[in-house]
């Protein structure tokens, strides 16, 4: 933790001693959507009827379903088979048929200080027009549309327009490199790319269109590119005739009416790429109805959304959190969802609190990394602003350490707001382990219990459930509506990744323990995925990128403890003969990874090593490398370039019985 020396084992032990309890405040409880065990009991009694009753009451259907859960071909589960709906209809159209027509749907705050409010009627108009733009560019039901944008209101408009016509979108986070964008477009075989000139970041335009151009020069499937003008004169861009079109020009002449396609419940909604345990990012496929239901119910109950709330999720829509909890979940509920374009430290380190003050935000959902950064900056920033409108706080993305939880509780929630620590994944689509804030007593550091209808467990190597307070693998025993359906174009890998290690159950890749109250303490990944500032990265992908550098023979990366980012990346690099282990080369290698994958993948430290410690079966001993990077062995790591040193450590470790299996 603070000294970076604590192993996850001792971290876990200190977490387990947590004795603070926070029961829902009485007034909060009295007004909450859920304030007793009823939904848990209903779901436990009849899991399918539980989901079906909410699907019926909370969503619009063009045609009712025949089967709630079709489990005839596991693990290829289908939800609401035979039903027809459209998530865009549920998020937009239906709200224009009531008084909500004039309600703010999206409240957007630009980094330079400009702002836009779109009512549901505005959103309806813009989405229909853009859906017609897409049709005009040749996009048909089933065609994929890639999106590479910053946090602008046109991004949810584009997503909803795709959903409306049944064209799965594939959003690529604006911080990814041209190579990463190219690979994702090629995997999805997208027909159209939507991008923007540049995105505002700390007062400067961060280029998007030039990166998109680089990518598109190697993506034969892309026929047309739509470019939003955001930075304008501050960032002139080149347009390729016959291929590139300005958003505003296409919209100026677009027809305003575009009815929603009646889509099969299992029609693909989107593909979102995430890092796995191998080098190649996986295209997680989410489909229509189950995803809509899962994000709708969790948004309503976990954030206890009220009609007049201003709800703000600080994530980027390039990640799943933004998909589910900025766009689809809140809009399906007819909520007002706030979106912010820029960074938390521009123009000053109180920007988040200024936004809460400005819009009188009621519910705020952010990440532990952001909270730890705010802790580092100091309490004077939140203290400057009026945060009294807040009634509920949330976190997601990584385990939250109790100190950060308490800091959030005291300095942002002023000790009156419940905190929902929500565990879920890109794959799960929806929050799965979380307190319901009007019912569940929280403890700092635990995501508490599974959402009603979610059946989780913790098992050992042999698939046996473990006793209380014993570590094991977090798994899910039953399908849930918003679950991923497969990897785009790779059913086999989907089965191998999630459903093979323990037959019949979904393997999350996370380790966890359950305490004596049945609360889940998620401790982090047990696979080769690193979680840096809540961003998922793959060791193998970074290693392969390093090895692609002309000076590198071999590389191994690990995630080491980091007080702010949760984990930081240490890379151990063996150079090819003739290359000197210089500081300049270290910098070059760090920049290389940033350029090839993304700045978020840039290794924090590089160790030149004469050799990599491997097990007898040639597996890299990551645990040993982690010990080195966290300073538990070898004070002076420069000696790693001496071949004897690695041999010696390795010998010592193997004889001490710490060889990894
Ligand atoms: C981690 C983000 C502990 C976990 C929605 C998971 C968490 C991975 C929590 C998924 C939490 C997410 N407590 N760990 N509340 N939330 N994680 O796909 O390791 O970007 O497997 O989805 O983040 O990351 P992803």
The per-residue pLDDT for range 144-174, each reduced to its tens digit, is: 999 999 999 999 999 999 999 999 999 999 9
Q: Which residues pair with 403 in a beta bridge?
A: none
* pLDDT value, residue 654: 52
* DSSP-assigned letters across all residues of 485-505: -EETT-HHHHHHHHSTTTTTS
369 lines ligand 1 (CB under 6 A): no
Ligand 1 centroid to 260 CA: how many Å?
Answer: 33
Ligand 1: centre distance to CA 387 (Å)? 27
DSSP 565-631: TEEEEEEEEEEPTT----HHHHHHHHHHHHHHT-GGG--SEEEE-SS--B-TTS-B-HHHHHHHHTT
Residue 331 burial by Cβ neighbours in a 10 Å radius (0-12, 13-18, 19+): buried
CA distance 270 to 163: 8
- Are residues 567 and 530 in contact, defined by beta-carbon separation less than 8 angstroms? yes
Which of 365, 408, 424, 456 should be mutated for ligand 1, with most atoms under 8 A from CB? 424
pLDDT at 626: 86
Q: Where does 59-104 have alpha helices with state H?
A: 87-91
- Pair 235, 204: CB distance under 8 Å: no
**CB of 321 shorter than 6 A to ligand 1:** yes
Q: In whole angstroms, what is the distance from residue 627 CA to residue 641 CA?
A: 17
Query: pTM of the full predicted structure?
Result: 0.92
Q: Could you identify the atom of ligand 1 that is nearest to the CA of residue 395?
A: 15
Show the low-confidence residues of the chain (pLDDT under 50): 1-9, 656-661
Residue owning the nearest CA to atom 11 of ligand 1 = 423
Instruction: Look up residue 358 and give its two tokens.
Output: 């400005």
Q: Please count the CA atoms within 13 angstroms of the CA of 220 that sit on its side-chain side.
A: 0
374 lines ligand 1 (CB under 6 A): no
Structure tokens at 18: 């947590």
Q: Which residues pair with 486 in a beta bridge?
A: 285
Amino acid 660: pLDDT: 42
* Centroid of ligand 1 to alpha carbon of 233 (angstroms): 39
- Best substitution site from 11, 425, 532 to test ligand 1's pocket, by max atoms within 8 Å of Cβ? 425
CA gap 499, 76 in Å, rounded: 10
> What are the φ and ψ backbone dihedral angles of 8, each rounded to 5 degrees?
-65, -25
Q: What is the pLDDT of residue 6?
A: 35
Indicate whether residue 524 lines ligand 1 (CB < 6 A).
yes
Helix (H) or strand (E) holding 208: none
Using alpha carbons only, how large is the chain's radius of gyration in Å?
24
Q: How far is the CA of 312 from the centre of ligand 1 (A)?
A: 19
The CB of 408 under 6 Å from ligand 1? The reply is no
Indicate if ligand 1 lies below 6 Å from the C-beta of 510. Answer: yes
**Alpha helices, H only, 75-119:** 87-91
């Amino acid at each position: 933790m603070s000294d970076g020396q604590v192993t996850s084992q001792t971290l876990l032990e200190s977490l387990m001693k947590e004795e603070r309890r926070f029961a829902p405040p009485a007034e909060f409880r009295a007004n909450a959507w859920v304030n007793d065990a009823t939904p848990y009991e209903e779901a436990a009694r009849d899991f399918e009827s539980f989901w079906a009753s909410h699907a019926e009451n909370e969503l619009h259907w063009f045609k009712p379903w025949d089967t709630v859960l079709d489990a005839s071909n596991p693990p290829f589960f289908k939800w609401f088979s035979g039903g027809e709906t459209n998530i865009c209809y549920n998020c937009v159209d239906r709200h224009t048929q009531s008084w909500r027509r004039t309600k703010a749907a999206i409240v957007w705050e630009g980094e330079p200080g400009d702002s836009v409010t779109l009512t549901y009627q505005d959103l309806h108009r813009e989405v229909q027009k853009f859906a017609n733009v897409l049709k005009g560019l040749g996009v048909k039901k089933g065609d994929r549309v890639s999106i590479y944008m910053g946090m602008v209101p046109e991004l949810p408009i584009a997503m909803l327009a795709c959903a409306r016509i049944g064209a799965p979108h594939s959003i690529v986070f604006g911080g990814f490199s041209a190579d990463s964008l190219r690979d994702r477009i090629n995997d999805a075989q997208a027909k159209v790319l939507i991008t923007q000139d540049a995105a505002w970041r700390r007062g400067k335009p961060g280029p998007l269109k030039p990166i998109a151009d680089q990518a598109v020069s190697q993506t034969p499937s892309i026929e047309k590119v739509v470019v939003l003008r955001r930075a304008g004169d501050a960032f002139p861009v080149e347009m390729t005739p016959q291929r590139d079109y300005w958003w505003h020009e296409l919209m100026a002449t677009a027809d305003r009416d575009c009815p929603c396609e009646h889509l099969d419940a299992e029609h693909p909604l989107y593909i979102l790429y995430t890092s796995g345990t191998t080098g190649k990012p996986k295209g997680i496929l989410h489909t229509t109805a189950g995803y809509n239901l899962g994000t709708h119910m969790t948004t309503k109950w976990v954030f206890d959304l009220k009609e007049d709330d201003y709800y703000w999720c600080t994530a980027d829509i390039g990640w799943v959190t933004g998909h589910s909890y900025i766009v689809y979940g809140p809009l399906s509920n007819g909520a007002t969802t706030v979106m912010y374009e820029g960074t938390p430290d521009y123009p000053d380190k109180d920007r988040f609190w200024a936004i809460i003050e400005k819009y009188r935000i009621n519910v705020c959902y952010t990440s532990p990394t952001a909270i730890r950064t705010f802790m580092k900056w100091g309490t004077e920033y939140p203290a400057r602003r009026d945060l009294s409108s807040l009634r509920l706080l949330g976190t997601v993305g990584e385990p939250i350490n109790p100190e950060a939880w308490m800091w959030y509780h005291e300095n942002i929630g002023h000790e009156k707001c419940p905190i929902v620590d929500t565990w879920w994944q890109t794959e799960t689509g929806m929050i799965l382990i979380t307190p319901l804030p009007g019912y569940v007593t929280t403890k700092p550091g635990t995501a508490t219990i599974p959402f009603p209808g979610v059946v989780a467990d913790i098992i050992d190597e042999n698939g046996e459930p473990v006793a209380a307070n014993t570590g094991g693998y977090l798994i899910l025993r039953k399908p849930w509506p918003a679950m991923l359906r497969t990897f785009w174009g790779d059913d086999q890998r989907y089965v191998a990744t999630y459903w093979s290690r323990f037959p019949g159950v979904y393997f999350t890749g996370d380790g966890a323990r359950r305490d004596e109250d049945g609360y889940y303490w998620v401790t982090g990944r047990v696979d080769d995925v690193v979680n840096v500032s809540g961003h998922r990265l793959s060791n193998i992908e970074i290693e392969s990128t390093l090895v692609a550098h002309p000076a590198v023979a071999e590389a191994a990366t690990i995630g080491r403890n980091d007080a702010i980012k949760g984990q930081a990346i240490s890379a151990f690099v063996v150079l090819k003969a003739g290359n000197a282990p210089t500081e300049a080369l270290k910098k070059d290698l760090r920049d290389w990874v940033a350029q090839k994958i993304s700045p978020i993948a840039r290794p924090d430290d590089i160790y030149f090593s004469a050799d990599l410690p491997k097990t007898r079966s040639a597996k890299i001993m990551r645990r040993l490398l982690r010990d080195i990077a966290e300073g538990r062995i070898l004070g002076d790591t420069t000696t790693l370039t001496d071949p004897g040193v690695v041999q010696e450590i390795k010998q010592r470790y193997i004889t001490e019985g710490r060889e990894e299996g």
